[in-house]
Structure formats: structure tokens, C-alpha cells
Structure 1
Amino acid sequence: MPTKERLVVIGNGMAGCRAVEEVLKRDPDRYEVVIFGAEPRVNYDRIMLSPVLAGEKTFEQIVINDMAWYRANDITLHAGRAVVRIDRQARKVVAEDGLEVAYDKLILAVGSDPVRLPLPGADLDGVVTFRDLDDVQAMTAAAEKGGAAVVIGGGLLGLEAAYGLSRRGMKATVVHLMDVLMERQLDESAGYLLREALAARGVETLLEAQSEAILGEGGRVSGLTLKDGRTIPCDLLVMAVGIRPNTRLAAEAGLNVARGVVVDDQMRTSDPAVFAIGECAEHRGIAYGLVAPIWEMCRTLGDVLTGRGGAYEGSLLQTRLKVSGVDVFSAGRYAGGPGCEDVVFRDAGRGVYKRVVLENGRIAGAVLFGDAADGGWYFDLMKRGEDVSDVRDTLIFGQQITEALRGVDPKQAVAAMPDSQEVCGCNGVCKGAIVQAIGEHALTTLDGVRAHTKASASCGTCTPLVEKILQLTLGDAFEAQTGPAPVCKCTHHGHDAVRRAIVEFELKSMPAVMQALEWTTPDGCAACRPALNYYLLCAWPGEYRDDKQSRFINERAHANIQKDGSFSVVPRMWGGMTSAA
């Protein structure tokens, strides 16, 4: 039996493991796979660290590949073992503990490093970055003590850090150098709406504010001084000012390095046996920091490593995000420019803003705030360069209205979507992959599609479209969910059924409820534990002991729970005038 080639991957993150998945999908028996990861844990969804920080998800819920996946695919994982040297002549890598592993093919998927501003006081305790689970745990520990947090950087990560810390009870302030939040993704109008949305969630933002020095007392951070003389007190300071490709290993090994590790269209470095993907790679002068281009790189590398050719020619960028609970989408030249015209929609009541930029009758860019459901449709029209002059009057109202006025049935619109059109941007899943999975695995539920394709398993924005594809593919066999929605994925029971059972069967603890109602998880999740805690406290106030760790309140209630149990609530003012009565 011929000996397999050995494929070594440095980086156990999203890019490295996705590349391995693409190889296994094409030729599962071709390589003996060895993966090194600097973090002492399995592969997880780094995009979803923000919900973990906010207490909306647990680490277990954001794991992409658990240990069972590594075992099932005979992958050797060296977690918590950073590679410190690549010996290209001997074709081996050396880990920090001296372990040496030979390779036939090597993939660099080492990601990027967070930028730390060289401010006085940057080395004080309590000054952290926001890059991995260790950072989240450090911020969570700081938040348990209460106090104030300052976040330097008004990009996505900075805003998510501030929002998460605010959710955990800290007074959060964002300090941003530019005059618009997320200026690389949003125009001025959308940036304004985002700032207002953050204020409603308890996050203050200071724009055009330049940091000068970090103050400290007893070796720990105590505040931030700005260039204009203002001082902002804080017990935690988060630097979220950007990332830079991690090129140290590649440079020390003598590979061609510019801003990132330079690769060709096959993701190959200057050494034919070494490849680079993800945030550490630089292709045609561009180092990508978004997930969609990384998935495209991984698909190309999967083809290359299994002898199918393939070429990566760069990516047309789109950004689809859920920032602090608000849907945001931007793509192309969203800010317009010479020769462009804008089509704008505003709904102040719903906090919705849409701007589609047209050039010569074609979409050149778009920015959506508050309602990003049509982002994929606009992006597909832009990629295909389709002339939209005939639907210009309805274009801003989205696909459903535009297609209806064209006389196109919504089902036909979904059916007409090309298989290559991306449906789930978080996980890089196209329509064709969803349809194929439904057929191959006889899937009939949304959870089944999520389990096999990961579509809609992250932020959930694409869930309605995935359901439409499921319905279209199954036809008459599709059965829509009826009855009350379950509390969460841990159970098929709805809220009313759970409350009835707690009283009827005299269930007086969370384990008792989970056992009696056959919970599918050992300890529940961030959605069901707070609900059960509340229901048990209501049903048995004299006997059930409040579990303070499970306290939770929906952010839309604008509540602020203090450590002593007291709280304040700002109710929504419907119609403008509301009296105490």
C-alpha cells in the first residue's frame, strides 16, 4: 500500500481547518493530515466571539470542529503547541517544545496579529486586545468586577467589544479617530444610525478623538488621556485598532514576504511545497481580512492540493454583519463617486437606511442598515454586472417587491438563483451546496441543513432564504413548523409547555426540568437557562434558589441589572406620549 503524503497545517483556526475540509471533500484518502494550533483548544468560529463576550452564546456553541471530527478524519491535532521554526531544506516544522514533524506539503494559516498602539502605559494590567477566546475570558473576568471600559477603535471588533462589555454591566465608551464609525463599511448616514443604535444600548462613542496616553495606578489601567486634554476613567481598556498579517515564521524561513506572505493564484508561496491562506496571505498585493475571500482561497487550495488545478483571482468584497444586534451590509463602492447616482431609502421609525449606488445603469455598490435581507441579491446583481435600468424605480425596495412587479413568483425568484450564488456569507455556503446536501442526506429541517452545510448556523441573517431553498427543493414534501416555537435548540418544548410542566410535576431545579422534559444538552444554553431560572423563581419563590449566573434580560427592554439585584428599566415609548398611568 503506497504511503500517503503528509500535509501539515500551521494554524488550527477557521482558514486552516476549512482548507483541510476542502481537501477531504475532494480526496479524503490522499493525505496524512497534521494540524498545529497555538491555542489549547479545538477549532471554533472566531466571528462568533462577540456573542460569547455578550453572554449570548457559550464557547461550546461556537465550536466548528470538535474532537470527534479530528478523530473521524484521522487528523493529528497538536493543540497548544505553537510552531517556532520551518526548516524548508529538511521539510519539517519545529514546535516550541522541540517536537519535529516532516511534511510533503505545508499550509501556513497563522492568521494575523492585533495591532497594539505604542502609547505610554500600553503594558499596564487591564489593557487587552480582542482577538481570541483568551481575550474574551480576560474581558469577562474584568466585567465581573463592574466599573468602566474604554475601547479604542470604532471598527467592527471595537464596537462588538463595547457592546458585549455593556451587556455584562460595564459602562462602555468607544474612542474612534475618524468621524464615522466603521468608515470602511459604512457611509456617513449609516454611521450616524449605528451611533444612535449603540447609544440606545448603553455604549457612548467619541468620534475624532485621538488617544495620547494610558493612565495607571498600582500597575493597573485607570484611564485614557486624549490629545484634546480629556481623560476618560476606566478599569479595562481594549485596543481594537486593526490587525496585521502574521508573517514572522514565513520571513524567518526565507519566504517572500511583503505586507503578508506573498502567494500566487494557486495560493503557493515562493517555495512550491508551502502554501498560505487566510489573513496571513497576500494575493496580488491585497491581504484580505474578511471571511468570504478566505473561503474562496480554501476552495482553490482544495482543488490545487488534489490535482484539480484551480486559480484564485481575487475577491469582490462584501461585508455582511450583525453589529450589536443590528443588521449591516456593504459592498463595492458604497460611498459613490464621480459618474455615480444614488437611490436612497430611509425609514426613521424602523431605523432602516438603504443606499444603492448606480453607475451606467449597473449597481456599483450598496450599504444597508437595519434591514440587510436583500444584500445578497444586490451583491449578485453587482457581480454579474446586470443592467438594472428597467427596475430602477423599485430596486431600493428589494428583491421581493421588484420581482413581484416584474410578475415573477417569489418561488421562481429563488429557483432562478444560480447555484454559485452565496447564501451564507459567514460560512461561505452557496445555494448549490445547500440543494446538494438536502438531496444527498434527505434533509427536511433547517437544523439538518445547518448541521451538514453550516448555512445559517452563525449570525442567522440568511435563515429565511435557507428555509425558502429547503421548501423549494422538497416541494410537496416540505412541512412548515407548526405550533409554538421551542424555547431553544436544547428542547422541542415551547415556553408555555415548560411553565406548565414546572407546576404540574413540581419541578424545582434546572436539572429536574431538563431531565423531566428530556433536554438534549447536559446543562442547557444561554437562551434556555435564563428562561428556566425565571420560570422556576416565579413558580416556587420560597423554594427555588435564584441562580444569578443565569440572569438575563433581553436588550430590547433596555434594562440594567446591578450586582445587588436591583435594576432599572427604560420602557419603550409607543406613540411618543406615555404617562405614568
Structure 2
Amino acid sequence: MKEKLILIGNGMAGVRVLEELLERAPGRYEVTVFGAEPHPTYNRIMLSPVLAGEKQFEDIVTHDRAWYAQNGFDLRTGTRIESVDRTAREVVASDGSRMPYDRLVIAAGSHPILIPVPGKDLPGVITFRDIADVDAMLAAAGSGRRAVVIGGGLLGLEAANGLLARGMTVTVVHLMATVMERQLDDAAGYLLRRELERRGLAVITEANTECIFGDGRVGGVRLKDGREIPADLVVMAVGIRPNADLGKATGLATNRGLIVDDRMVTSDEAILAVGECVEHRGQSYGLVAPLYEMAKVVADQLAGRTDSVYQGSVTSTKLKVTGIDVFSAGTFGADKDAEDIVFRDAARGIYKRIVLKDDRIVGTVLYGDTADGARLFQLLRSSEDVSAERDTLVFGPALAAGGAAPDPIEAVAALPAEAEICGCNGVCKGKIVEAIGAKGLQTVEDVRTHTKASASCGSCTGLVEKLLKSTLGEAFQQGSSVKPVCGCTTYGHDEVRKLIRAKELRSIPELMQELAWTSPNGCSKCRPALNYYLLCEYPGEYRDDAQSRFVNERVHANIQKDGTYSVVPRMWGGVTSAAELRAIADVVDRYQIPTVKVTGGQRIDLLGVKKEQLPAVWADLNNAGLVSGHAYGKALRTVKTCVGSEWCRFGTQDSTAMGIALERATWGVWTPHKVKMAVSGCPRNCAEATVKDFGVVAVESGWELHVGGAAGMHVRPTDLLCKVATPPEVIEYCCAFLQLYREEGRYLERPWPWIERVGIAYLRKRIVEDAESRRALHARFRHAISFTQKDPWAERAAGAAAHEFSPLAEVVA
């Protein structure tokens, strides 16, 4: 006959015991699980994303009712255990039922602390511990506007961030001088507070709450210095205390929590305890990783492995507030025998501190760049002597060995087998690598299913993916459906753009922190792409980052093989004047420019300009009304034209005027790659419009619009987009096409492969068939270009000598 096992508490710690027991002794016990909440097990770590709207409750359920049934566990939700008869070995439930046990496991969790101030019992004052609390906060967020969170620790900041995401005005009041003072030092706490305030949170530190006031319902919080903060909702997140109530009532040994020995056994040999309700060697834990370490020992004991012991945990902390990377582990107090290694990069908001004692890491705090957290935590746990790499410790393992900046994949590959990858679930590298090989795992989801790594807070997902890459090598690359932007990330271009919009990311550092970039500051591949995507998403708001541009774009000229540069002034539609030619000739003479050449795009190229001459050359050209032709830019290069009906006997429309109108309407705005246009005055197509990115061919009834041509290494004729009748329509359709390409093209993707990827039918639907979509695209393009044509290098465009050919002058305007 099976032994009877009762588990009191259906939370993460208790259910982890059942999972571990299934591995060790499946079928040994007849198991009954009592849970006070009406739900099956869910991941409490992910309550913050539910509050913020990033996940639904169903997304964080870890074990549904079917799991209990499949494993033969009797789950009784919404049922509390009122008492334990240790003599009879029976539990008495809140529904009046009695049930015998041979072994009993108590996993009662913890109680949130309510500070004893007047008003703490008013409606609208809640804690943040379970899904019921989240539901209450969401209800308040729907009907109220202002929230106060009392407590600036880990849980309080996550609650505040979630309420802010729900549209509330949020104030955090915190008793101590810095937020998260238990996990962060003063410097990191300052950086975190500054970032939270930048996001819109109000933070008041050294704030002692006097009372919570309100007439029948919460109305605000009064501090002891007299300040009053109005509130429709008050969240108390000042800490937790072990729930030892049942243990005390049962006569078990208790202090702050249920006292257990190293076997996780209470003062009654038949009763074990696990989780936040426990006190072990005078210590209680509120983080999930120690609870899971306890669960393994409890399962060992239940399976008969009586030599298994728990000796305490070294913990680390990661903040789950979206887009803020914070990691801490160990101690970093005022130990006079300890040494500090500190790295700061104020411009990027990065701060690293490693605390050493006797050449061993005893603490670390990382802010802004936490990629090295797993390695430092492993060194801390192993108490390894780091004196040999002391001078380079803060920079990573490759530099410690005298190498270059570490490759993220190689850095993960170099971690020892015992290195912890998933702190929440206590999963080491060796276990994941073994599972990948033994079970043929290919994806992060596979690893999550079989090992639990990344199944809780998800912050180790990047590490798991890198471990897959380092283990599978080319096999992983071949199986990857999304090509990443670069080696700094696993996200593809489309994913990055979607996340910029969804998460409203507004700077490169914020984006890299939010999307867990593996390098502290990106690389030459990703930074230009991110700079472009942010420019496109936030025209006029985002400030162009010059350091994220290629050298040609920084100096506004094309570098040549001998280190000199070529300068191409813009000539609207390929048309120039005597005044412009004289200005160019004067510049050539003044700076002794060796070569002057007409380009294939009907512009004049000044070749052989020295780098130090560029500012003066451009100043002289600007003074003559000539602006950059962007021959170096991911932007409109040229609009090539023929002379059209103004001069040619075959011309059907004024192609020169149309080309000038197009160029004036579209120049200066950044695009994923270079863009070339042409306008031909008749179907003879002298301007070669049918091999351009956007080509216009005049016909008797109006204009044919062509897209997606190429005439370089890859030759591709254009696709006919549509026919239009009037010049204003040409401008509108062209701007809509360019904006759609700007918004959906991948950085360094020319228009033709983008069109082949999405299909010409998609373009026709968005631009031709859907007039509302076309007008919206056109409006967004005009909005963007209203800022880019005010760029310092374009500021003289308004005063440039205009070539206004009636009747198109109004189109240009």
C-alpha cells in the first residue's frame, strides 16, 4: 500500500517538491495537495508582467489541473488546513474533512507585511503577493488615476512599474535613502531611481508614512513631514514574513518561521517544511532559487535519501522592471578588509562594482550591463581565487586572458558545468548541455520544457539561447528561422522594430537594456540599424546619434581607396545653372581638387578632397546654395531625368519639372538603404526609370509609376505599381511608397528585395487600393521630412536657387 503524503500549500515551492519527487520516487506516495487559492499553480514571479499588461494570468499558470490528474495527485483548491493532529497524524481542512498522512510537507509561504499606521484597513489599501492582489490593482487602475506604492524594494518597484504601464500616476514612497537598498549600493540605487523618474514614476526617499487618510475609502498618504500625496490606490510592498501560523498552532518549533534542520525536517520527524515559511539556520528566504534548492532536499528525504542536506543559499537578484538591467549578489557593505573594483560609464548609464576579500568575490552589483552576472555569481559561489585576473575582472573573461572583447557565445561556452544559468530554478549549465545532447533539444522552448531553465522570470533566456548556440554550433544556426540583427542579439530586424513600437523604446541604451543586448554598447552592425529605426519611429523627437553612423555619413562625403573623399552637391533633377557651376569651379580651384566627374546620376562629383578640407568645402558650397546630394547616405541619392516635353520632340510630359518636384519633396529623409529615382518623359525611357527604386514614365494620359528596379550587380526590371493622372498624385504615391519602405524595410535592405519579400500585391493594396492607408503614409512621410530637411547640412536648402517649373511649383511647395 502506498504511503500517504499531504502537501499543504500549492505554491511554487511545494509543487517543485512534487516535480522532484516524480523524478526520484514516482508512485511511492498517494498525494493530496491543499491550496488556499482557487487556482492551480502559477508563477508568482510573473505577477509583475500580468499587472503591466504584458501577460495574462493563463500565461503564467505552470501546472494546470490536468497535470495533477495525469500524475495521480488529488488537488483541492480553495481549501485551507485549519489544524494538524500530530498524534493521530491527521489534518483538518476548512471544509470540515479530515485526512490521514504518513508524511506531511508544509509549504505555507509568507504573509505580506502591513505597516501599523492609521488607515491601513481602508478600502483601496492592498498588498502585492498573489493574483487576487493583481486583480484588485487592475480594478483600481480602471477606475482611479493616482496610486501610491509604499516600499521601494524589489516588489514595490515592480508594482509601481505595472501600475504606471496601466496609465496611473504613481508615487513611490520609501523609508530608506535609496531604493532597493538591500540589493544595491548607493550608486546603483541612484541610477535606478533616475531611470524610474525618467519613465514617469515619482520617487520620494527617506519618507516615513504617518497615516493613510480617506473618507470611507483611501484618499491619500500623509508623511510625517506633513506632505500629503493624493491616491485612489495604496499598495503596501514593505516586505514579507514567514507564515508560521499553522506550525505554531500545531506545536512545532518556530521563531520567525518554521524551524527546520539541514534535512528540512521540523521538530516532528513526520513533518517537513519548504519555502518562505521556513527558517533554516536563522535565515529565511524570499527568492525562488533557495526555495527550489530546499525542494530538492525535501524530495530526497521523501524518496529515502536521508543523507541529502540543505546548507543554505547564496542568492542573486535581478530586477524585472521592463528595460532596466540590474543584478546583484553577495554582500557589499562597509567591510574594512574588502576591496572594491568599480567601473562607471555615465554616458551609457553603466555601473559595475565587484567586492573582493582575500582575492575572492564576496559581492557584486551591476547596473545597465548585466551580461557578466552569471560568471561573477559563479565565481562568488565557488569562492575561487581571482587574483590572476583582478585587473581585468570587471571587463570579462576574454580580456583577462589578454584577448579582445569577449564573444558572447564563447563566454557562455567557457563557463564551467556547475555555473548557474537559471537562478530562479537553480539550473546549471551542465544540466542544460546534458539535456540538449540526450533529448535532442533545439529551441529555448525545448530547454524550458525539459529543464525549467528560463521558465520563471525569463531573464536568463538570452543565456539559454547562447548555450544552445555554443552546444549545437551550425546545427542551431541552420534551425534558426530569424536572422539576428548581429551577434549582439538574438532578435531579428522585424522583431526589433515591433518591440520599439510596442515598448515605446526611445534611445539606443534603453533599447539595448530592454532587449538584453549581450554587448554593453552594440557593434558596427547593430548601432546604425537601431539609430535608423529610432529615427524612423520618432521623427523630431529622437536625436540622431552621430557615433552610430558610418564615417561617410558623419563627414558627408564618400571615402575613397586613398583615404581622400568625394563630394557630390545636390542638383535638383540633374539640372544646374551657371552660378552653381561657377561656385563648384571656384571650390575646385580653391582646394585644388584633382578630379571633377559627371556621375551616372547626372550630378557632379568632386574627387580627392582631403578630410580636413571637408568642413570648408561644404561651407563654401552651402554659401552658394548647394546642399549635399547624399551620395553617401541611406537616403535619396538622385532623381535622374530626361528633358521631356519642354525640349524633346517625343516628350509627352514635363519630366524635368516632375523630377525636380520629386527630389524636392523627398530629399533628406533617411531610408533603410540608398534610393534612386528617375523620370522619363515618354515610353522611350531615356532616363532609365524602369531600373530604379522608384521610376516614373510619362504617357499621354498621365504617368506610370514603377517600383523595385535595380541596375547594379543585380539587374531587375521594375514592377508596375499603377498609373496616375496628375503630378500631385505622383508625389503622394511616391511619398507613400517611401514611407512604407521606411517603416517595414530592414536596415541595409534595398527596395527590390523588400518588394520581393512582401510582394507587389501587398504594395498595391496598401498604396493604390486603400486610399486611407496611402494618405496616412503620405502624412507620416511629410511629418518626418519636415524635421530632416531642417538638418544642419540642409539648412540652406530653403535659400537655394530654385528651379521651379510651372505648373509644378505648387507641387514642390
TM-score by length of 2: 0.60
Matches within 5 A, 1:309-320: 309-320=307-318
Alpha-carbon separation, structure 1, partners of 2:360 and 2:200: 40
Q: 1:33 aligns with which of 31, 46, 57?
A: 31
SS in 1 for 2:320: strand
Query: By how many angstroms is 1:231 displaced?
Result: 0.4
Q: Deviations over 1:441-469 (max 9, x none)?
A: 22111221112222123333322321232
Counterparts in 2 of 1:354-503, with a 5 A limit?
A: 354-403=352-401, 405=403, 414-480=412-478, 481-483=480-482
Rounded Cα–Cα distance in structure 2 between residues aligned with 1:406 and 1:378: 19
Match of 2:152 in 1: 154
Q: How does 1:178-193 map to 2 (within 5 A)?
A: 178-193=176-191
Pick the aligned partner of 2:262 from 265, 271, 275: 265
Please state how far the C-alpha of 1:184 moved relative to its aligned partner. Answer: 0.4
Give the counterpart letter for 2:505 in structure 1.
R
Alignment of 1:9-24 (within 5 A): 9-24=7-22
1:410 Cα deviation after fit: 6.8
Q: Which residue of 2 aligns with 1:306?
A: 303
Determine the structure 2 residue equivalent to 1:68: 66
Q: Following TM superposition, by how much is the alpha carbon of 1:571 offset from its aligned partner in structure 2, in angstroms?
A: 3.8
Q: Letter of the aligned partner of 1:29 in structure 2?
A: G
Could you tell me whether the CA contact under 8 Å between 1:404 and 1:410 is conserved in 2?
A: no
Three-state SS of the structure 1 residue aligned to 2:477 is coil
Partner residue in 2 for 1:47: 45
Give the counterpart of 1:556 among 505, 512, 525.
505
1:252 aligns with 2:249: yes
Asked if structure 2 preserves the Cα contact closer than 8 Å seen for 1:557 and 1:569, the reply is no
Kindly indicate whether the alpha-carbon contact (under 8 Å) linking 2:259 and 2:280 is maintained by their aligned counterparts in 1.
yes
Partner of 1:283: 280
For residues 324 and 51 of structure 1, what CA distance do their matches in structure 2 show?
9
Q: CA deviation at 1:393?
A: 1.8
Residue identity in the other structure for 1:458: S
Aligned to 1:57: 55
* C-alpha distance in 2 between matches for 1:252 and 1:206: 40
**What is aligned with 1:208?**
206
**Identical columns (%):** 56
Q: Which moved more, 1:15-24 or 1:440-449?
A: 440-449
Q: Counterparts of 2:225 and 2:318 in 1: how far apart (Å)?
A: 35
When residues 196 and 407 of structure 1 are mapped into structure 2, their CA distance, relative to the original with a 3 A threshold, is closer
* Distance apart, 1:323 and its partner CA: 3.1
Partner of 1:372, secondary structure, is coil
Asked if the contact 1:17/1:43 (under 8 Å) is kept, the reply is yes
Corresponding residue SS for 1:405: coil
State the secondary structure of the residue aligned to 1:376: helix
Structure 2 gaps of 5+ residues are 486-490, 508-537, 547-783, 791-813
1:21–1:193: structure 2 CA closer, same or farther, 3 Å change rule? same
Task: Return the letter of the residue paired with 2:428.
Answer: C
Q: In the TM superposition, what are the counterparts of 1:166-181 in structure 2 within 5 Å? A: 166-181=164-179
Tell me: CA distance 1:494–1:464, structure 2 relative to 1, closer, same or farther (3 Å): closer
The CA RMSD over aligned residues, in Å, is 2.8
Find the counterpart in structure 2 of residue 100 from structure 1: 98
Q: CA deviation at 1:37?
A: 0.5
1:388: Cα distance to partner? 1.4
Distance 1:380 1:331 in 2: 10
Q: Distance in 2 between matches of 1:19 and 1:41?
A: 18
Answer yes or no: is the 8 Å Cα contact 2:79–2:95 preserved in 1: yes
Conserved 8 A contact 2:408-2:466:
no
- What do the CA deviations read for 1:16-41 (whole angstroms, capped 9, x no partner)? 00011111111112111111111100
Distance of 1:192 and 1:182 partners within structure 2: 10
Local SS of the residue matching 2:55: coil
SS for the counterpart of 2:172 is strand
2: CA distance between counterparts of 1:130 and 1:407? 42
In structure 2, how many angstroms separate the alpha carbons of the residues matched to 1:358 and 1:145? 51
Q: Aligned-pair distance for 1:123?
A: 1.0
Distance 2:126 2:67 in 1: 32
Does the CA-based 8 Å contact 2:144-2:233 persist in structure 1? Answer: no
Work out which of the two has the higher radius of gyration on C-alpha atoms and give 1 or 2. 2
Give the counterpart of 2:344 among 343, 346, 353: 346
Give a deviation string over 1:371-415, Cα, whole Å, max 9, x none: 212111111112222221221221111235435639998766544
Per-residue Cα deviation, 1:264-285 (whole angstroms, up to 9, x for no partner): 0000000000001110000011
Counterpart CA distance in 1 for 2:56 and 2:492 is 21
Distance between the aligned counterparts of 2:170 and 2:26, measured in 1? 48
Change (3 A) 1:126 1:557: farther
Q: Distance in 2 between matches of 1:485 and 1:382?
A: 32
Q: 3-state DSSP class of the match of 1:285?
A: coil
Q: Could you say what secondary structure the match of 1:289 adopts? A: coil
1:320-364 deviations in whole A, cap 9, x for unaligned?
Answer: 332343121111122352112211111223221110111222212
Structure 1 474/288 Cα, relative in aligned 2: closer, same or farther at 3 Å?
same
Task: Report how many aligned residue pairs link the two structures.
Answer: 512
- Cα distance 1:79–1:231, how it changes in 2: closer, same or farther (>3 A)? same
Distance (Å, rounded) in 2 between the aligned partners of 1:570 and 1:310: 63
Kindly state the Cα deviation for residue 250 of structure 1 after the two structures are TM-superposed. 0.6
In the superposition, relative to structure 1, how do residues 574 and 128 fare at CA in structure 2: closer, same or farther (>3 Å)? Answer: farther
Contact 1:146 1:169 in 2 (8 A): no
- Compare 220-229 and 473-482 and name the one that shifted more: 473-482
Q: Tell me which amino acid in the other structure corresponds to 2:44.
A: R
Cα–Cα, structure 1 residues 250 and 571, in superposed 2: closer, same or farther, change >3 Å? farther
Query: Aligned-pair distance for 1:254?
Result: 0.5
Give me the whole-angstrom Cα distance separating, in 2, the residues matched to 1:21 and 1:264: 22
TM-score (norm 1): 0.83
Residue number in structure 2 paired with 1:504:
none
Does structure 2 conserve the Cα–Cα contact (< 8 Å) formed by 1:336 and 1:357?
A: no
CA contact (8 A) 2:51 2:162 kept: yes
Query: Distance in 2 between the 1:555 and 1:67 partners?
Result: 37
Structure 2 CA distance for aligned equivalents of residues 296 and 387 of structure 1: 25
Q: Name structure 1 gaps, 5 residues minimum.
A: 487-491, 500-526, 532-551, 559-567
CA distance 1:215–1:73, change in 2 (3 Å): same
What is the identity, as a one-letter code, of the residue corresponding to 1:164?
G
| 1:226–1:495 distance in 2 versus 1, CA, 3 Å | same
Partner AA of 2:36 in structure 1: A
The offset of 1:11, in angstroms, is 0.5
- Which structure features the higher share of helix residues? 2
Q: Distance in 1 between matches of 2:365 and 2:468?
A: 28
* Contact 2:316/2:377 (<8 A) preserved: yes
- The answer on whether the counterparts of 1:156 and 1:323 sit within 8 Å (CA) in structure 2 is no
- 1:157–1:240 contact (8 Å) kept in structure 2: yes
Give me the whole-angstrom Cα distance separating, in 1, the residues matched to 2:541 and 2:322: 19
Rate the CA distance shift 1:151–1:411 in 2: closer, same or farther, 3 A.
Answer: closer
SS at match of 2:214: strand
Q: Per-residue CA shift, 1:201-233, capped at 9, x if unaligned?
A: 21110000100011112x110011100000000
CA contact (8 A) 2:126 2:133 kept: yes
For residue 437 of structure 1, report the CA deviation from its aligned partner: 2.1
Report Cα offsets for 1:502-541 as digits up to 9, x if no partner: xxxxxxxxxxxxxxxxxxxxxxxxx99xx9xxxxxxxxxx
Any residues of structure 2 matched to 1:74-93 within 5 Å, and which?
A: 74-93=72-91
3-state SS, counterpart of residue 396 of structure 1: helix
